[in-house]
Structures are given as structure tokens and as C-alpha cells.
Amino acid sequence: MPQFDRTSEDLGNSIHLEHVNVTVPDQRLATLFYVAGLGLTRDPYLMVSDSNMWVNVGRSQFHLPTGPAQVLPGHTAIVMSNRAALLDRLAAVRPKLDGTAFAFSAHNDHVEAICPWGNRVRCYEPDAARFGRVALGIPYVEFDVPKGTAKGICDFYSQIMGIKAALANGGHTALARVQVGKDQYLQFRETDAPQPDYDGHHVQIYITNFSGPYRLLKARGLISQEDNQYQYRFCDIVDPADGRRLFTVEHEVRSATHPMYLRPLVNRDPAQTNRNYAQGHDQSAWAMEPDAYDRR
């Protein structure tokens, strides 16, 4: 009889990282970067006016409400196919983004693109060994955090949120790796760089034990907003041992009973244009093709 490591499939309390939210001053420039440049898809059903834009990345999203620019201290990773086409798209939008913080550069294993206001996005080719069987998605969000905080951050997520977290190999720096979904992580990398003031950006996760972490956060005075029956928020990550604040980033926490949990998202194939149109190729799959799966 085959022997399997059943613990390798445990997710812990968090089951999906759904979106990263940063406000942007100009929806047109955001469209040029996220849709035309990166090749992502504006959600066709929700937030379709000029005050907000939701951009689909496989089963996850960027949320981009209009407002003063927010910049996440770190970077967001995206898995997407066709590095050469990505570089062509970014080069094509460069003239229209002249005078902003926009830039892009090719590296050995990724392309880094900087949005018009300074948010960094690292784009990787699909790699099952590294990112799971994802062809399009957000595998991790990485934050720059102060020296000496990584262990306490791990303790916060494991002890208060019930989420799997561990110190990982971060090269020359300590790295806390928090599993928030299937092949999805929040990463916290220690740095000596000065910490910018927190500007209100946030991430959103779904959890299964919804009330347990709520009670622990509430007892510590950490609940920052009561949204509705299915959702609450907190901002400060603290050391459970002494209550010391380690880092601040708003978490929008949703239950698995939230009406929008795993709402189907449309993802276009950015290679498809009116000049080369082929029926049946409008959508891009977020998962690898069947031949990438275990044939047993």
C-alpha cells in the first residue's frame, strides 16, 4: 500500500489569499500598468466605475481604489507565463508612463516591474516545484520588517491566528514565512532599512476558524474594524510573549462562509488581440494543464 505524508497537505487556518489592496491616484495609469503592461484582467462584474478597479490574477486580485498613492514596503509576486511577451508589453506602455515611478528590469528568474507610484511586482514563470501547479496567480506577498521581528511574527500567526508559520532560509536575513493558502504565503523579511510610515494598504485572507482568532485579537485590543457578519480587520502584528508591536499591515479577514469566497474570476489571454484573434482562446487558465498532474 502506498505511503503518503498526509501532513504535507495541511493548510492550517488560512485557506486563501484573495487580494492585495493599494489606493492609486489615477485609474488610467493603473490600467496601463496592471492591465496593458502586466497583461492582467480588469474584473468585468464588480467595481467598474472610475473610483475603484479590481484586477484579476488567477484566483486572486489587486484592489485599486482611487486615493492618495499607497506603497507596500516590499513586493508582490505573480506567476505568469511568457516572459518575453511580458517584457514587450511593459516596453509598449513605457512612453505613456514617462514621468512616473514606472520601471522594469529582467533578472535571472523573474521580471521586476514598478508601478507608477512605486509598488514593486516580481513576475515569475510557472514552476510547479517552486509555486505549485499555478499558471497565473499570487504566490506570495513579501514585506520588509525591522530586525529582530521575524520570530515574533511567526509566533503571532501560529499562536493567535492558528496559521502555519515558520522561519525560512532568507539568505543573509531572517525570513518569516506564513502559509495563507494552497501554495500562497505572506513573507516578512528583516531589513536594516528605515521603516516608512504605514499608509493604509492591506491584504485579505479567508480563514476557517473565524471566531477563535477574533476572540484572541479582541482580548488584546487588536480588532481595528468590524465590517459585517463575515468579516473583520486588524492592523498590528504583536509578539504574543510581551504584546510588543512588531509590524503594521491591515488584514481584512473573511470567513469561508463569506458570499464572495472563491468567486469565479475571469482571466483573459493577453496574447489575444483583434489582429490575431482565435476563437476559444479568450480566457487564460489559472492552473497548469492536465499533463502537469500526477498520472496515478
Does pLDDT of 292 surpass 80?
Answer: no
230-281 pLDDT, tens digit each: 999 999 999 999 999 999 999 999 999 999 999 999 999 999 989 999 998 8
Cα-Cα-Cα-Cα torsion 117, 236, 241, 194, nearest 10 degrees, comes to 30
Does pLDDT of 294 surpass 70?
Answer: no
Count helices and strands (H / E) in the chain: 5, 16
Strand order in the sheet with 41-42: 41-42, 54-57, 60-63, 14-21, 202-207, 245-255, 231-238, 223-228
Type of residue at 222: L
* DSSP conformation letters of 27-50: HHHHIIIIIIIT--EE-SSS--SS
Average predicted confidence (pLDDT) for the chain: 95
Residue 125 burial by Cβ neighbours in a 10 Å radius (0-12, 13-18, 19+): middle
**pLDDT (0 to 100) of residue 9:** 86
Range in 54-58, 147-151, 280-284 with the lowest mean pLDDT: 280-284
d(CA 132, CA 153): 25
**pLDDT (0 to 100) of residue 295:** 56
Of residues 170 and 129, the one with the higher pLDDT is 129
133-160 pLDDT, tens digit each: 999 999 999 999 999 999 999 999 999 9
Computed on alpha carbons and rounded to an integer, the radius of gyration of the chain in Å comes to: 19
**pLDDT (0 to 100) of residue 162:** 97
Instruction: Name the pLDDT band for 296 (thresholds 50, 70, 90).
Output: low
Cα-Cα-Cα-Cα torsion 8, 12, 15, 16, nearest 10 degrees, comes to -90
* DSSP conformation letters of 172-235: TS-EEEEEEETTEEEEEEEESSPPPPP---EEEEEESS-HHHHHHHHHTT-EEEEEETTEEEEE
| C-alpha dist (Å) from residue 244 to 124, 222, 236, 238 | 35, 12, 10, 5
pTM of the model: 0.95
Query: Which three cell numbers mark 17?
Result: 489569499
Does pLDDT of 291 surpass 80?
Answer: no
d(CA 204, CA 252): 4
**137-146 exposure pattern, b = at least 16 Cβ within 10 A, e = fewer:** bbbbbbbbbe
CB 208 within 8 A of CB 257: no
Query: Which three cell numbers mark 224?
Result: 481595528
In the three-class reduction of DSSP (H, G, I as helix; E, B as strand; rest coil), residue 22 is classed as coil
**pLDDT (0 to 100) of residue 255:** 98
Instruction: Name the pLDDT band for 79 (thresholds 50, 70, 90).
Output: very high
Does pLDDT of 15 surpass 90?
Answer: yes
Does pLDDT of 283 surpass 70?
Answer: yes
How many CA within 13 A on the CB side of residue 158?
A: 14
Mean pLDDT value of segment 4-21: 93
In the three-class reduction of DSSP (H, G, I as helix; E, B as strand; rest coil), residue 67 is classed as coil
111-121 pLDDT, tens digit each: 999 999 999 99
Instruction: Name the pLDDT band for 290 (thresholds 50, 70, 90).
Output: confident
For the chain, list the domains and their CATH numbers: 11-271 (3.10.180.10)
CB 63 within 8 A of CB 20: yes
Portion of the chain with pLDDT greater than 70, in percent: 99
In the three-class reduction of DSSP (H, G, I as helix; E, B as strand; rest coil), residue 140 is classed as strand
Portion of the chain with pLDDT greater than 90, in percent: 89
205-215 pLDDT, tens digit each: 999 999 999 99
CB 143 within 8 A of CB 177: no
How many CA within 13 A on the CB side of residue 42?
A: 20
Query: Which three cell numbers mark 146?
Result: 525591522
